[in-house]
Amino acid sequence: MPDLDPATTALLTVECQNGVVGEESALPELAKEARDSGMLERVAALAGAARAAGVQVLHAVAERRPDGRGANTNARLFRAAGKLPVRQISGTAAVRLAAPLVVAEQDLVVRRLHGLSPMAGTDLDALLRNLGIRTLVVTGVSSNIAIPNTVFDAVNLGYRVVVPADAIAGVPASCTAEVIRNSLALVATITTAEALLNQWAPAP
């Protein structure tokens, strides 16, 4: 993996929120995988190391209005989301970051009301460009949908993308390995959380 210049690199967490991967998730199977695999702890560790190294941290959160206005209805996934017992309603606990992740003072939070990717129809691309970011480290959930969409959108917009394979999760667990091997590895640099932590560790 090439060296990542902190001045031009950002770490993005995707949908690491209570209503998705927290204790009272709308998607308990995904939440269990995110926690049992250690993915959430690794993402939190990466965020802390990134901040210490001067790497910008951003959090992408998926939300819905209580009335659902403006949300997609053109796929089964979206229609099902509106009927789940836990909904990602703006301003509720469901859209706050799940422990052990935190939003630090210097972090940026990007919220979206529609779509499959935080890169589409949000401020994320503009924020990254204003910050001079050229490389995006993508973490979070899920490897089934949101992570591939984020990676592909970022690559299409000209960013170099890095994916720590053990800092993303999906269901079943085997899906993550297959998506990485057959899709993400073709367009992104695949690495591990440990490799990034070592790179961002303070110089001795």
pLDDT of residue 97: 98
pLDDT of residue 14: 98
Residue recorded with tokens 């695999």: 37
- Taking 80 as the threshold, does the pLDDT of residue 77 lie above it? no
What's the pTM? 0.93
pLDDT of residue 75: 60
Q: What percent of the chain has pLDDT over 90?
A: 76
Average pLDDT estimate for 59-75: 80
- Taking 70 as the threshold, does the pLDDT of residue 202 lie above it? yes
Taking residue 177's Cβ as centre, other Cβ atoms within 10 Å add up to 12
What residue spans of 22-67 are helical by DSSP H?
Answer: 28-36, 39-53
Taking residue 134's Cβ as centre, other Cβ atoms within 10 Å add up to 16
Identify whether the C-beta of residue 112 lies closer than 8 Å to the C-beta of residue 62.
yes
Average pLDDT estimate for 12-18: 97
DSSP H/E element including 108: strand 108-112
